[in-house]
Amino acid sequence: MKKNPTVAIVGATGAVGVEFAGCMERRNFPVGKLVPLASARSVGKTMKFRGSDVPVQELTEKSFEGVDLALFSAGATISRKFAPLAVKAGAVVVDNSSAFRMDRDIPLVIPEINAARIREHKGIIANPNCATITALVPLWPIHKVNRIKRLIIATYQAASGAGAAAMAELLEATRAYLDGKPYQQKVMPHPYAFNLFSHNAAIEPDSGYNGEETKVIAETKKIFEDPEIAVGVTCVRVPVLRAHTEAITLECYEPITEADVRKILSFAPGVKIVDDREKNYFPMPIDASEQDDVLVGRIRKDTSDPTGHSIALLVAADQLLKGAALNAVQIAELV
């Protein structure tokens, strides 16, 4: 990899694409040249980067000539088609979609957990699902000390997880609701303002789990390299613009206390403890938004487990940053 690589952003005009550029600028990523790529309808737009307006180019099969590094966030269909072409042209791809995550030959990486897997890449490195990243960054340090046997997770996922159009719909629907006007949603399957609903990923008819939930389950096993870890998860879409929140109960193989967890997490990379019982102040999406760390609080014994092996937590993280763009840029830095 060149010291100052040519970097392409695929999906440059989307919510995550914009954050790719913002993360690289804030972290002084050594970009020699930036190549924003998007669909034909975005040609004529520009991307702000280091004080300049960089023209957005149409994504084509020849877009990757001279590109050293390509950050993808344009959906699995686009990634399946264009990521191999980027690799063939000589680029290393960090892909934010679900296209390659469960491919056994492609590393699925959270740098705080399994950065060493990056060395095994054959041109493509996969970025995990945002709900997976939010949970696993604080769970991994615990798992290293006292192996986790079982996880029960409930997610409260923001509009940002469904892209810029969903964020805009939430704002528009809220304004309409407050004004007493009718509003017909176009992005989400159900009314979004002052409502919440089961995550809008498709339901698997046999298991009853939706696609978001099965991603969290499968990705946790792959990243932790622990096929025996049991994971139960319910994913819910809530009327929050950005930053996901998750309620997690973990059961370890050995007894574990609140003090154990606080000590472990106080030194954990990418984690910030927000746990003020006196003020009833714990992780919230409003505080996690535009922050790099995963916030962790409500650290307490799970009283439903009399054996003392279980702990309950509340976590929150910016879906567009650590849940997507930041994690990808951290991978790129290591590449």
What Rg, from alpha-carbon coordinates, does the chain have? 20
Question: How many whole angstroms separate alpha carbon 73 and alpha carbon 27?
Answer: 19
Residue 273: how many other CB atoms lie within 10 Å:
17
**Whose CA is closest to 260, among 305, 220, 226, 310?**
310
H-type helices in the chain, by residue range?
A: 15-26, 76-88, 111-114, 130-145, 164-178, 211-224, 258-266, 285-288, 326-334
Q: Residue 199 catalytic?
A: no
Q: Which residues contact 203 (CB under 8 A, 6 or more apart)?
A: 209, 210
> Do residues 79 and 110 lie in contact, with contact meaning Cβ atoms separated by under 8 Å?
no
Selecting among 23, 121, 130, 252, the annotated active-site residue is: 130
Sheet of strand 310-317: strand arrangement: 197-198, 230-237, 148-157, 244-252, 310-317, 294-301, 271-273
If you count them, how many residues does the chain have?
335
| CA neighbours closer than 13 Å in the CB half-sphere of residue 120 | 12
Question: How many whole angstroms separate alpha carbon 57 and alpha carbon 313?
Answer: 44
Rounded to 5°, the CA angle 126-127-133 comes to 140
Q: Residue 143 catalytic?
A: no
Angle separating helix axes 326-334 and 15-26, nearest 10 degrees: 50
Question: How many whole angstroms separate alpha carbon 281 and alpha carbon 286?
Answer: 12
Strand extents, DSSP E, 61-111: 69-72, 92-95
Would you give the DSSP letter of residue 188? S
Selecting among 121, 199, 244, 309, the annotated active-site residue is: 244
Active site residues: 130, 244
